[in-house]
Structure 1
Amino acid sequence: MLWVMQRKQKVLILLCFFLTLTSIVLRYSYHESSSMYYLNILHGWSDSTLPNKPCACEHCVSEAHTSPWFDERFNHSIRPLMSENTVLSEDTYIWWQMLQRAKDPANLTAVMKELFNIIPSKEMYLDWGASRCRKCAVIGNSGNLKGSSYGSQIDLNDFVFRMNRAITAGYEKDVGSKTTHHFMYPESAKHLQANTSLVLIPFKTLDLQWLVSALTTGNITQTYTRVLAKITASKDKILIINPTFFKYVDDNWLENRGGYPSTGFMTLIFAMHICDELNVYGFGANSEGNWHHYWENIGGGAFRQTGVHDGDYEYNITRTLSSIGKINFFKGT
Structure 2
Amino acid sequence: MHCRSCALVTSSGQLPGSRQGRRIDESECVIRMNDAPTRGYGNDVGNKTSLRVIAHSSIQRILRNRNELLNMSHGAVFIFWGPSSYMRRDGKGLVYNNLQLMNQILPQLKVYMISRHKMLQFDDLFKRETGKDRKISNTWLSTGWFTMTIALELCDRINVYGMVPPDFCRDPNHLSVPYHYYEPLGPDECTMYISHERGRKGSHHRFLTEKRVFENWARTFDIRFFQPDWEPQQLPGAQPEASPLA
**TM class, shorter-length:** 0.5 to 0.7
Residue 282 of structure 1 and its aligned partner are, at CA, apart by 1.7
SS in 1 for 2:145: helix
Match of 1:297 in 2: 184
Judging changes above 3 Å, is the alpha-carbon distance between structure 1 residues 134 and 279 closer, same or farther for their aligned structure 2 residues?
Answer: same
Farther off after superposition, 239-248 or 149-158: 239-248
How far 1:302 moved relative to its partner? 3.9
- Residue 8 of structure 2 corresponds to which residue in structure 1? 138
Would you say 1:187 and 2:57 are equivalent positions?
Answer: yes
Count of residue pairs brought into register by the alignment: 192
Q: Residue 201 of structure 1 aligns to which amino acid in structure 2?
A: W
- Note if contact 2:75-2:109 (Cα within 8 Å) is conserved in structure 1: no
Cα contact 1:148–1:332 (8 A) shared by 2:
no
Q: Does 1:252 align with 2:136?
A: no
Q: How far does residue 324 in structure 1 lie from its aligned partner after superposition?
A: 4.6
Paired with 2:227 and 2:209, the residues of 1 have a C-alpha distance of 17
SS of 2:149's partner is helix
Contact kept, 8 Å, 2:81 with 2:113, in 1: the verdict is yes
Describe the SS at the equivalent of 1:145.
coil
Is the CA contact 1:279–1:330 (under 8 Å) kept in the aligned structure 2?
yes
Q: TM-score, normalised by structure 2?
A: 0.67
Structure 2 CA distance for partners of 1:179 and 1:213, relative to 1, 3 Å: same
Instruction: Tell me the C-alpha RMSD between the 2 structures.
Output: 2.8
Aligned to 2:111: 238
Q: Which structure 2 segments of 5+ residues have no match?
A: 230-246
- Whether the aligned pair in 2 keeps the contact of 1:197 and 1:234 (CA below 8 Å) is no
Larger strand proportion of the pair? 2
Q: Distance in 2 between matches of 1:202 and 1:145?
A: 27
- 2: CA distance, partners of 1:331 / 1:134: 21
With normalisation by structure 1, the TM-score equals 0.51
Deviations 1:250-291 (A, max 9, x none): 223343365132101210111011211111112237951445
Contact 2:77-2:110 within 8 A present in 1 as well: yes
**CA pair 237-324 structure 1, distance change in 2 beyond 3 A:** same
Q: Residues 188 and 141 of structure 1: is their aligned pair in 2 closer, same or farther, counting only changes over 3 Å?
A: same
Code of the residue aligned with 2:77 in structure 1: it is S
Aligned CA distance change for structure 1 residues 166 and 233 (closer, same or farther; 3 Å): farther
Are the structure 2 counterparts of residues 165 and 330 from structure 1 closer, same or farther at C-alpha, using a change threshold of 3 Å? Answer: same
Whole-Å Cα distance in 2 between the matches of residues 310 and 270 of structure 1?
18
| Alpha-carbon shift at residue 236 of structure 1 (Å) | 5.4
Distance (whole Å) between structure 2 residues aligned to residue 254 and residue 231 of structure 1: 41
Can you list the C-alpha shifts for 1:26-73, whole angstroms capped at 9, x where unaligned?
Answer: xxxxxxxxxxxxxxxxxxxxxxxxxxxxxxxxxxxxxxxxxxxxxxxx
| Residue 121 (structure 1) aligns with | none
CA distance in 2, matches of 1:263, 1:231: 25
CA deviation map 1:138-167 (0-9, x unaligned)? 111111111111111111122211111211
Corresponding letter in the other structure for 2:181: Y
Whole-angstrom CA distance in 1 between matches of 2:105 and 2:34 = 15
Q: What fraction of aligned residue pairs are identical, expressed as a percent?
A: 27
The code of the aligned residue for 2:121 comes to: F
1:177 to 47, 69, 73: 47
CA deviations on 1:188-232 (whole Å, 9 max, x unpaired) are 12032342211011212323433442244x5xxxxxxxxxx9885
Gaps of 5+ in 1: 1-124, 128-132, 219-228
Return the alpha-carbon distance in structure 2 between the equivalents of residues 283 and 137 of structure 1: 12
